[in-house]
Amino acid sequence: MTASRPALLLTGARQTGKTSLLQRVFPDVEYITFDHLRQVEAVKGSPEHFLGQFENQVILDEIQYVPEVFRELKIVIDKDRDNYGKWMMTGSQQFGLMQNVSESLAGRIGICHLETLSAAELRNENISNVADFLWKGGYPELWSNPLLEISDFFESYLRTYIERDLKTIIDVKNLSDFRRFIHVVAARCGQLLNYKSLSSDVGVSDVTIGKWIHALEISGLIYLLTPYFANVGKRLIKSPKIYFADHGLLCYLLGIENSSDWHAHPQKGSLWENLVMMELMKNHHLVPGNNLFFYRDQNGVEIDFIIENKGMLYFIEAKAGERIDPRKLHFEKVAALFKNKFSIQNLLAQNMKETRIIRQEKYKSYNPVYSTIDLFEQT
């Protein structure tokens, strides 16, 4: 995108590696961060003067802290529209940031979203302990720094988010309530979003729960997966399901510190489901509610994930066990509702030791920690 647009914006949650990525790709480019209050105040006072000092490419880190820059940046870019890739920016909080971008820089900026590392990326780097991805997650620093205590990393991460970032999104008067809320949401991972139930468990109003869920979503910590309808004529569940953008953070919130904890945890099925969803998103550029959904009717018939792409439906079931009861796979029941409209392929994302893709009679089995399916190249 730096070859075709004057500006580039790299979004994503904290610690996904946005800054490191830009600095690695552009090692000689000047770097400015707005993580420091003094720098922020200087820019807010005179954004025109600040932008005017850069003749060459520059990386502006954590741009969401200085929204005043965007309007002036539009003026600067329009004076030199063909200077592609001059302005490279990162930002963590998506809603306010994207609103400013859409209002000021439409047509002038390329936007990329960065998630935490996928298992496929770790395999490509020949990481020897890739099996630890199951509970460790994909934050880059956890893999680049072997001396880093994982619990210290996540505790610091949560403290920074709750005590600093959250204040720029919503006004939370009781931080301990919000902290308890995050833990309760973690315990509901892979389940239908129920505001009243969350309200009861956390001890705050339904309205507050709605605001807090929105805050987690726009800051990139969770995703809400909507159900798939396609006019099948059945009574379907309408609520979205909750997933965490990084299953390592989810494991930490649930007290999981190693592989033994993961395998013994009563929610390992939901944990595995969360991992599978994020691997689908990262490896196949899927967007929840756009081309990635789930299916569940009121009789309990469910498909964990449905991908719609060019006349195809991909049904993906996520199972945490190595031995699968075929009666718990609903491929055929749901396929009957769509077979006249779509071609359908069935996949089982299974937590098995086998590292290759196995072709079964009615579906293909694979472990996304060890292999990646070329979904849209299948015949």
Distance CA 105, CA 102 (A): 6
| Average confidence score pLDDT of the chain | 90
Average pLDDT over residues 4-30: 92
* CB contact set of 30 (below 8 Å; sequence gap of 6+): 54, 56, 57, 58, 59
Whether the per-residue pLDDT at 362 is higher than 60: the answer is yes
> What does the pLDDT look like over 271-316, one tens digit per residue?
999 999 999 999 999 999 999 999 998 888 899 999 999 889 999 9
Residues of the chain with CATH 3.40.50.300: 7-113
Give residue 1's pLDDT.
67
Give residue 81's pLDDT.
87
Give residue 379's pLDDT.
39
Residue holding tokens 């069935």?
A: 346
Average pLDDT over residues 254-277: 97
Distance CA 89, CA 105 (A): 12
pTM: 0.91
261 or 5, higher pLDDT: 261
What whole-number percentage of the chain has pLDDT above 70? 96
Average pLDDT over residues 333-338: 89
173 or 110, higher pLDDT: 110
Average pLDDT over residues 1-8: 83
Closest CA to 277 of 314, 235, 324, 244: 244
Sign of CA dihedral 205, 206, 211, 215: positive
Residue 302: its H or E element: strand 302-309
| 163 to 37, 124, 169, 212: CA distances (angstroms) | 15, 36, 11, 14
> What does the pLDDT look like over 88-109, one tens digit per residue?
999 876 666 777 787 788 888 9
The one-letter code for the residue type at 56 is N
- Write the burial class of residue 21 (CB in 10 Å: 0-12 exposed, 13-18 middle, 19+ buried): middle
> What does the pLDDT look like over 195-214, one tens digit per residue?
999 999 999 999 999 999 99
Its CATH class, for the domain covering 7-113, is alpha beta
Residue holding tokens 């029941």?
A: 333
Strand, coil or helix: what is 113? strand
* CB contact set of 323 (below 8 Å; sequence gap of 6+): none
